[in-house]
Structure 1
């Protein structure tokens, strides 16, 4: 079981590897068979800033569904494929990053680039490119707002544990 714990307050000078002005988070991997007691009513977080800033998730049910998302078109190796993807985006969306900008919460997949051009997120230990592990994206349906309608992303080193995680607010 993947467990993400985060402080709902803005941290203007967070510890590495957290993004500036983002929640400070901790990841725990647990064996669900080891969980013997579940809190019926978890404690409410203590807020220190404007509650509309968006780091306190509203209670909601998460239902896993298979989802296909695509890499940002400019990162594709084939120019004909880039052209086809751009045509698809124009035909089905508003011309923005509708292919990688998936609302809600997702494991894995491709990262969104709706605010910047693509760049590698590097491991803070060895400098190798990291892979996207988890995204919490702003979404009306789940009543989640991250920062200014952005994404809270967690990246992991692909070769294994021990390198930690890199957190990003995009």
Structure 2
């Protein structure tokens, strides 16, 4: 069965996009439409291309491959147009991702915010460090697994985060990341989102049990196989 296209990113649109093998400037992410094995594992493919070569191709498929009947609605992505926006992100504050004294200061700040604002208090993890949803580069979120060390299986070099794919562009805990035009400023969390599911979940996809899919690549040799981490 043909893999389903999940994302297509050009470096001309996203300046922070890492270069691929042979300076490829177009990356495509695909997923098998079915799960595999007793643990319902997913199979992904990352393809690097040169944009100029694909755009001047003499032939293109007259129609996309037919998609087989799927069990769940979230198996088939909803077509979306990206409008990239650059934001500052900061590491997940747990384990040794940051110096211990700094994590202690962050924890103390979080506690002070709760004491002052109650349940509507902002927090470092949810409101300041890493946005939800799809993003290129930055830092991985480790909400479900805790921090992990990801090294290249070919050369043991530390891998870097190329892309994160998520099912939700906003959630109940990330009020600060909801675009101003999509929220009611007098409310917080999911209640503040205008437009419902089509705004909060524009791609209609899910990864695992509402996890993020982190795609890591080797900075020493982009041709080395990527790694996929659900967290």
Shorter chain as denominator, the TM-score bin is 0.7 to 0.9
Q: Which residue of 1 aligns with 2:82?
A: 62
Q: Which runs of 5+ in 1 are unaligned?
A: 14-19
Q: Conserved in 1, the CA contact under 8 Å of 2:157 and 2:220? A: no
What is the DSSP-based 3-state SS (H/G/I as helix, E as strand, rest coil) of the residue aligned with 1:11?
coil
Distance 2:35 2:145 in 1: 22
Q: 1:26-105 to 2 correspondence within 5 Å?
A: 26-35=45-54, 36=57, 41-48=63-70, 50-52=71-73, 54-74=74-94, 75-77=97-99, 79-80=101-102, 83-84=105-106, 87=109, 91-93=121-123, 97-105=126-134
**Would you say 1:117 and 2:117 are equivalent positions?**
no
1:73-128 deviations in Å (ceiling 9; x for gaps):
131126246514762695424x7555555322111110011102212012112333
Deviation of the 1:40 alpha carbon:
6.8
Q: Which runs of 5+ in 2 are unaligned?
A: 1-25, 114-120, 169-199
1 or 2 for the larger relative contact order (CA 8 Å, sep ≥6)?
1
Q: Report the TM-score, using the length of structure 1 for normalisation.
A: 0.77
User: Number of residue pairs matched?
Assistant: 161
1:137 corresponding residue in structure 2: 166
Q: What TM-score comes out, normalization by structure 2 length?
A: 0.59
Which of the pair has more CA radius of gyration? 2
Partner of 2:215: 154
Whose helix proportion is higher, 1 or 2?
2
